Chains A and B, each alone.
Chain A
Amino acid sequence: MDNKINITSSMNNLLSRFTRRFKDGSIGTKLSHFIFGAGNIYHKQYIKGLLFLLLQIGIILFMVLCPEINNTPYGYKALLNLSLKNLSEGGAFDPTTGVFTHGSDCKLIILFGFVTIAVIIIYFILWDKNISSSFKADNDLKVGKKPSSFKQDLSELFDSKFHVTMLTPTCIAALVFTILPTIFMIALAFTTYNDQDMNEMGTNLFYWNGLNNFRAVFTGEGSLGIEIKNRFMPVLGWTFIWAIFATLTCYFGGIILALLINKKGLKGQKIFRTIFILTIAIPQFISLLAVRNLLGEYGPINGLLMNLGLTNSPIGFLGLRPGDSERLAKLMVIIINMWVGIPYTMLMTSGILMNIPQDLYEAARVDGASTIKMFFKITLPYVIFVTTPYLISSFVGNINSFNSIFLLTGGGPAYTGYQAGGTDLLVTWLYKVTIDQGSYNTGAVIGIFTFIITASITLLTYRRSKAYNQEDTFQ
């Protein structure tokens, strides 16, 4: 409700801003609506005006001339191509004209289409900036000030507009390497980009496919449709079970370990702490692969069990062979994840435990409360209160926890005929489907579902939390 009002009112604001500037502005400001930097040049801010003008010319040339990379054009042609129609299979050589037609690269067409859209958005932002810059100079003149010189503008970038300087690198990097790729992958969910299908049809082109890939979750159509239909719910369910158990075991295990290590009168705290930090410091691919081999078919644990006569054949703790117990593998990954995760929570809660006001305990002791009672009535509520944001982010982190599963079980035990094994999470499944199978559209569908889940959990809990709503109280 609030948001709706916000949007309409801000739209109105925007509109009135533009009309006001056009009506009240000087002739230079009016010209700025058509030629970038005209207003600045009118106000004798030559360098700034020329910069705006160059940017406008550059973008217009980019849109009209359509530079090509790998035979795929940018500019207006990229926008036309976005429809993914009139594609050419390519590889054809016409001997009469001597022309070799290159095939369309649909990935690049979509990618460049989005880049072009981003450039258009940047064009409009520049348009707005150049008008407001000229309008500001108008107003400066009205109150008897001189329009700011280029030198002044530059020095402002280190003072009142310092945030622009500081945020620009991150914004550009995030736009190119995070936002653009994310949008691109979302778009793939609505295409037929699937190596299997494309090989079958003998083509290297793909097309828009509407919502069909999402429907496959229910109908089971398409090359991976059966997989999606039959394995989606089990994988989703296990992802939740995993995330809940992985979060809670590490969380409470860490608190208990922290209490043990920080116990009054205990000597050698540093040594114990260092031992547990070792697992954080050692790269996960080392520690997890060590455990995987330790528990493996030919590893020492199975050797020991067989020597003791407890089992005749090696136990498949991690479901690495088809037919191994799925439940055991699931149990083992949760236990091994405690080995990885508990030290982290221990470190974190150690600091928090020391911050608990000691007079709370004194008062409780005077009232005759037992140690256990104090733990449940003082320590735990305090720690949970302080670390709620961490709990949420670690739950989301566990939903996206790739290493623990990929390096320990590889998703096994495998199901014949399916990609998703018994311990596969949505993310490891996504990896298998895209990297191993080349089913980019199906992978993107899984990714979008994962996002919807993590986003709704985060938004529901995080936006209500104090940490978010009062984030600036400490500033």
Chain B
Amino acid sequence: MARIDLVDLAHSYGGNDAPVESFALKPVTMTWRQGGAYALLGPSGCGKTTLLNLISGIVTPSRGKILFDGADITPLSTQKRNIAQVFQFPVIYDTMTVGQNLAFPLKNRGVPKDEIDARVRQIADLLDLTFYLDRKATRLTADAKQKISLGRGLVRSDVAAVLFDEPLTVIDPELKWQLRSKLKALHRELDLTMIYVTHDQTEALTFADTVVVMHDGRVVQSGTPAELFDKPEHTFVGYFIGSPGMNIVPAVVSGHEARIDGHVIGLHRNYGVLPAGARIEIGVRPEFVNVAAPASGLLSATIERIDDLGRVRFARVRIGDAKFAARVPPGFSVPDNSVGLVFDPAHVHVYADSRLVEGVA
């Protein structure tokens, strides 16, 4: 149980002398509070597993420090860090029973036997493994094995944090839901800090109170799921979170107006001073743009196709060369070729060189 601070933490597999641009994890400073549920979200190769392995001590950082409750633990080995980690693929000690597997981390640390038994029973109960406690672990199915791995991660009550490295990869979709909600429940029950690495946004958004989005070795935004959705700080976050992702279109922005193809879109805030020479784009989620019958006051776009998701329909359109997605209001019959787009000014964001620009109210 600890607060975790990362101070200028960075790592390069090519050694410390490599240019910072090539680092697998670019310098990051960040604090994770005790008892939180965090998700590290990003595409493959974005550095999220590297960050996780730095915290668990499997990888030693090229630069920076990691503090647990203010104490520098960077030079400590994995064993001494008091951390638990669950890997992508189940790790099972073949010769042991399920119960012995769960007890292994406690036994190695010399915990008294009755304490081990009580804790193993509790964890097995939470994970529905009680029935299998005396069975050999090798003979179970992949998802039961992964539950054992999860159990071994959760069995120690005094860990600074439990790290999950895409733990549900091998699980069937139907069971994924169950296990994910189980993890969420376990988090409430056990009061452990949990850090969960995934490339699946649903997994991250349902599990975590704070989602840390990573891209190309950098942390691009850290916030609640609502913050990531409403106010992405980086075009990557807008694009990566949400389905379909945020629309990003080049625009000319001045004051309360953005121009696309010479057409004016009103903005909620005033953008007086924009960085000179920067690439200016506006971003708006498809949920906040409605298609309408073409009219002279509306930005017009050509229809490519309609995605009917059942509950809601999205129109895939083109504005000039740029691809764009917009909501089709219920009951609206979509014309064949071109439509007008109605923007909700409160949800139109301005980005300079991919970073969010805060306007003035």
On whether the two chains bind one another, the answer is no
Chain A interface residues toward B at CB < 8 A: none
Chain B interface residues toward A at CB < 8 A: none
